[in-house]
Amino acid sequence: MKIGIVGSGLIGGLVGTLWSRAGHEVLFSSRHPEKLGGLVARAGGNARAGTLDEAIAFGDAILLSLPFGALPDFGRTMSEALGRKVVLDTSNPYPDRDGLMAEEVRQSERGTGPYLREWFPGVRIVRAFNSVWDQTLAKEAHRAPPRVGVPLASDDAEALEIAAGLVIDAGFDPVIVGPLDRSRDFDLGAPVYDTGMSGPEVREALGLPA
């Protein structure tokens, strides 16, 4: 699959690399694409670098891995270009980094999902890879089962299936939790957040079928 990585930092760089090594075509993007040479070389495969616009145009699927505070503006300017692409969003609202808006999202107790739905109208957003620390992902990808669980939430059933396949290709166990409103079950602060739980452990903790 063609995958555009929007935000090629710790998570975007790592997950994009896992996909490139699994045989996907990956375009890493940055506001400074000229700085991505090392990442592209390490990722191997057919990986290359470009601008954010190029990554969005390129990907059938997009990994959105930005500071949470950047999302309202990004959604406003990019939702039309994202169209019906499958967009996996990894972001978490940290008030220290993202400011008052993150505090507001956390205090609302609605979880991130309803906000993403509002900021990205009509876009097939899947919450993914937000609840596992980058160093856990780096260390445990493709380990012998039970693999690390990566919870997923989306309002779009087909997007969830595509995202689940991409989680498997990256070397983890996809756990489909439900619609975007269920994002709160694995958002920052939830009991399964940053625990490194395996897929079966996440399912048990969230009361999902084994």
- Nearer to ligand NAP by Cβ, of 115 and 157: the residue is 115
Largest CA distance in the chain: 46
- Nearer to ligand NAP by Cβ, of 91 and 195: the residue is 91
Smallest gap from Cβ 209 to ligand NAP, in A, equals 25
Residues 6+ apart with CB under 8 A from 10: 134
Smallest gap from Cβ 67 to ligand NAP, in A, equals 5
- Nearer to ligand NAP by Cβ, of 71 and 176: the residue is 71
- Label residue 180 exposed, middle or buried (CB < 10 Å: 0-12, 13-18, 19+): buried
- Nearer to ligand NAP by Cβ, of 36 and 206: the residue is 36
- Nearer to ligand NAP by Cβ, of 72 and 178: the residue is 72
Smallest gap from Cβ 47 to ligand NAP, in A, equals 15
Residue number, nearest CB to ligand NAP: 9
Sheet holding 61-64, edge to edge: 48-50, 25-29, 2-6, 61-64, 86-89, 124-127, 149-154, 173-178
128 in Cβ contact with 90 (< 8 Å): yes
- Nearer to ligand NAP by Cβ, of 130 and 154: the residue is 130
Smallest gap from Cβ 134 to ligand NAP, in A, equals 4
Smallest gap from Cβ 118 to ligand NAP, in A, equals 17
Smallest gap from Cβ 98 to ligand NAP, in A, equals 8
What single letter denotes the amino acid at residue 57? A
Residues of the shown chain interacting with ligand NAP in the complex, contacts defined by CB under 6 A:
7-12, 30-32, 65-68, 70, 90-92, 94, 130, 133-134
Place of tokens 């493709």: 142
